[in-house]
Amino acid sequence: MHELEDYVMELFDSLKQKITGKNISIVFPEGNDARILGAASRLAKDGLIKPVVLGTADEVQKVAGDANIDLTGVEIMDYLNQPKDQIDAMVAAIVERRKGKTDEAKARDWLKDPNYFGTTLVYMDKIDGMVSGANHPTSDTVRPALQIIKTKPGIKLISGSFLLIRDDLRYLYADAGINMDLDAEGVSDVAVTSAEFAKLFDIDPKVALLSFSTKGSAKGDMVTKMQEATKLAQQKAPDVPIDGELQFDAAVVPSVAEKKAPGSKVAGHANVFIFPDLNAGNISYKITQRLGGFQALGPLLQGLNKPVNDLSRGTSEDDVYKVAIITAVEAVADKS
């Protein structure tokens, strides 16, 4: 009988195959954290990515030595002591990208912050992706990414998804980590982004926009929002099965779907779930995780022009390892 961890390993074995030999580099701004260094060491040893950690060589090597971590294959980049021409190029890139919102002095100041430094490396295509947040709040990872990398063309916002795994089941929940309350346009963006993101995990997306109502069974502004979001999402991604508004049972139980949403291409078989607000999304993923026995991975940032992912401050070395692999998979997808 398969244990839950076996199915997670199967997923990550599949993800590792997508990045092996692709020479993907990931920057970790928090080079003074043993969890980061442990994960970077494993990633280098496994030949999966080229890890770059930010910090002084003395500081990083001391943390690694104290934790008995082998840094073979891990590049240490002292972001505060880089050649003048490199810093000048990074400053120019920020000023150009910000189109008058950030001057040269402010850009130089930003580059003294490891998250801004790492984000700028990714923006300039010197590094393929970034993973941060073990010692910083989410906003410290997200803000530089939004200011410099920005969102994908046609997408106005980023969102936070969770991958839920149990047995051979894989589901994506969004937004469950970033936006408190979106309008119909915002919800439709999350739906389209989530459908594309789900494909990274070999999920063939069937997207359900959720509500306490199915196909007009109840009335109210909250219902109307999800109905309008469904129409907008269908217009933006006409080739993706997207339907709503659906109650959760209609979205996942075929017999209920036949009664409540007959003829739907999604109802009864949904695997990507779009929630009306952050309350619903965050509560639902935690219920699924704690009572349903699913493993939850996330929040994974969706909608950015280049891959950046956030860690929780309670993260483990293994979490960092897995999030870095997912970030590298995003980078491979962006290049293809």
Alpha-carbon span 316 to 97, nearest angstrom: 34
What phi, psi does 68 have (nearest 5°)?
60, 45
Instruction: Kindly state the average pLDDT of the residues 160-187.
Output: 94
pLDDT tens digits, residue range 24-77? 999 999 999 999 999 999 999 999 999 999 999 999 999 999 999 999 999 999
Alpha-carbon span 36 to 321, nearest angstrom: 8
CATH number at residue 295: 3.40.50.10750
For residue 81, pLDDT over 80 is answered with yes
Stated pTM of the model: 0.92
Q: Are 110 and 62 part of one and the same domain?
A: yes
Calculate the average pLDDT of the chain.
95
Task: Mark out the alpha helices in the chain (DSSP H runs).
Answer: 4-19, 34-45, 57-66, 84-98, 104-110, 114-123, 138-144, 184-198, 221-236, 248-252, 254-260, 278-290, 317-335
Q: What per-residue confidence (pLDDT) applies to 67?
A: 96
Q: What per-residue confidence (pLDDT) applies to 150?
A: 95
Are 329 and 323 within 8 A, CB to CB? no
Q: How far is CA 267 from CA 19, 256, 270, in A?
A: 34, 9, 6
% of the chain residues with pLDDT over 90? 90
Least confident of 7-16, 82-91, 249-258, 265-274: 7-16
Q: Are 188 and 249 part of one and the same domain?
A: yes
For residue 326, pLDDT over 50 is answered with yes
Establish how many alpha carbons lie within 13 A of residue 114's alpha carbon, considering only the half-sphere containing its beta carbon: 21
Number of H helices, E strands in the chain: 13, 11
For residue 149, pLDDT over 50 is answered with yes
Least confident of 139-143, 204-208, 259-263: 139-143
Instruction: Kindly state the average pLDDT of the residues 211-215.
Output: 97
Q: Are 15 and 26 part of one and the same domain?
A: yes
Alpha-carbon span 175 to 181, nearest angstrom: 9
- The answer for residues whose C-beta is within 8 angstroms of residue 282's C-beta and 6 or more apart is 176, 177
- The answer for residues whose C-beta is within 8 angstroms of residue 52's C-beta and 6 or more apart is 25, 26, 27, 28, 74, 75, 76, 77, 121, 127
Q: What per-residue confidence (pLDDT) applies to 137?
A: 86
Q: What per-residue confidence (pLDDT) applies to 7?
A: 82
Are 76 and 57 within 8 A, CB to CB? yes
Instruction: Kindly state the average pLDDT of the residues 177-198.
Output: 95
Full residue range of the structural domain in which residue 293 is found = 154-303
Q: Are 124 and 204 part of one and the same domain?
A: no
- Looking at the DSSP bridge assignments, the partners of residue 173 are 162, 273
Q: How confident is the model at residue 247 (pLDDT cuts 50, 70, 90)?
A: very high
Residue carrying structure tokens 């891990």: 74
Q: Which amino acid is at 258?
A: E
Cis? peptide before 245, omega within 30° of 0:
yes
What phi, psi does 83 have (nearest 5°)?
-55, 145
Q: Are 88 and 22 part of one and the same domain?
A: yes
Instruction: Kindly state the average pLDDT of the residues 176-205.
Output: 95
pLDDT tens digits, residue range 255-304? 999 999 999 999 999 999 999 999 999 999 999 999 999 988 888 999 99
Instruction: Kindly state the average pLDDT of the residues 168-173.
Output: 96
Q: What per-residue confidence (pLDDT) applies to 47?
A: 95
- The answer for residues whose C-beta is within 8 angstroms of residue 136's C-beta and 6 or more apart is 30, 115, 313
For residue 4, pLDDT over 90 is answered with no
Q: Are 2 and 125 part of one and the same domain?
A: yes
Alpha-carbon span 178 to 138, nearest angstrom: 9
Q: Are 168 and 285 part of one and the same domain?
A: yes
CATH number at residue 79: 3.40.50.10950
Q: Are 176 and 253 part of one and the same domain?
A: yes
User: In total, how many domains does the chain have?
Assistant: 2
Instruction: Kindly state the average pLDDT of the residues 305-332.
Output: 93
Sign of CA dihedral 278, 283, 288, 294: positive
For residue 1, pLDDT over 60 is answered with no
Q: Are 182 and 224 part of one and the same domain?
A: yes
Instruction: Kindly state the average pLDDT of the residues 92-117.
Output: 96
Q: What per-residue confidence (pLDDT) applies to 207?
A: 98
Q: Are 167 and 122 part of one and the same domain?
A: no
Q: What per-residue confidence (pLDDT) applies to 300?
A: 93
Q: What per-residue confidence (pLDDT) applies to 2?
A: 59
Q: Are 166 and 276 part of one and the same domain?
A: yes
Q: Are 39 and 131 part of one and the same domain?
A: yes
